Amino acid sequence: MVELTGKPLISDQDLKNLATGEIVRIDEKAIVTPLAADTARERQLRIERVAEPVDGRRSPRRIAVGADHGGFEMKQELKKLLAELGNEALDLGTNSTAAVDYPDFAQAVALAVARGAADLGIMIDGAGIGSCMAANKIPGIRAAMCYDEATARNSREHNGANVLTLGGKMISNDEMRKIVSTWLSTELTEERHRKRVAKIDALLR
C-alpha cells in the first residue's frame, strides 16, 4: 500500500513508478489529474479515498518558501507566520539581501512542490510577477500572484493554486499575513472547479 494522503493533487509523476496492482490511499478531496487517472487504469492501481478525521484535524503541512533579495525580509516574517499557523517551512533561500536572480528560487520552490517534497509553496520577489511566470514553467505547478485576500481565496477555491507568489515591495507584512492566512485556509472543494483545474493540468500532455 502506498500512502499519498496529504497531497491535494495526484499527478502522473506520483503513480507512474508504482507496482502494477498497488493500492494507493489519497485524501477524499484530492484531485486526480486526467493523465494520472489514465496511468492508474493502465497499471491497475486501486485508488482508495480517505475521509478527513471528524474533528477536522490534519497533520502539519510543509510549505516550501523562497525569495530573492527583494523578498528576503518578508520571507523571514513569513516563516514566523507559518510557525504560528502550525505549518513547517522548508526555506530554499535566498539568505540575505544580496542581489540574486528570482527565477532560480522560484524554480526551487516549484520543484519542491512538484516532486512532493512540500505540500505547497510560497515565493516572494519584488513584485511577485516574475516568480509566478517562472514557477508556472514547472509541470504540475499552478502558481498565482495574489495581492489581497480576495485573489488569494479565488486562486485556491477556483484554480487550485499550489504555489503563491507575492510582491515584497508591493504589500506590507500585515497584508502578507492576511493573504497567506487566507490562501492556506482555502481549499479546492467544488466539483465544477475541480473539473476545470483538471483541464488546466491536461494541457501539459
Low-confidence ranges of the chain (pLDDT < 50): 55-57
On whether both 29 and 125 belong to a single domain, the answer is no
Say how many domains are in the chain.
Answer: 2
Domain that residue 24 falls in: 2-56
pLDDT for 56:
47
Active-site annotation holds for 158 = yes
Catalytic-role residue among 158, 177, 194, 196: 158
Q: Where are the beta strands (DSSP E) in the chain?
A: 2-3, 9-10, 23-27, 31-32, 46-50, 62-67, 88-91, 120-125, 143-145, 163-167
pTM of the complete model beyond 0.85 = no
141-197: per-residue pLDDT in tens?
Answer: 999 999 999 999 999 999 999 999 999 999 999 999 999 999 999 988 788 888 999
**177 lies in the same domain as 122:** yes
CA distance 162 to 160: 6
Q: Are residues 145 and 71 in the same domain?
A: yes
At 59 the pLDDT is 64
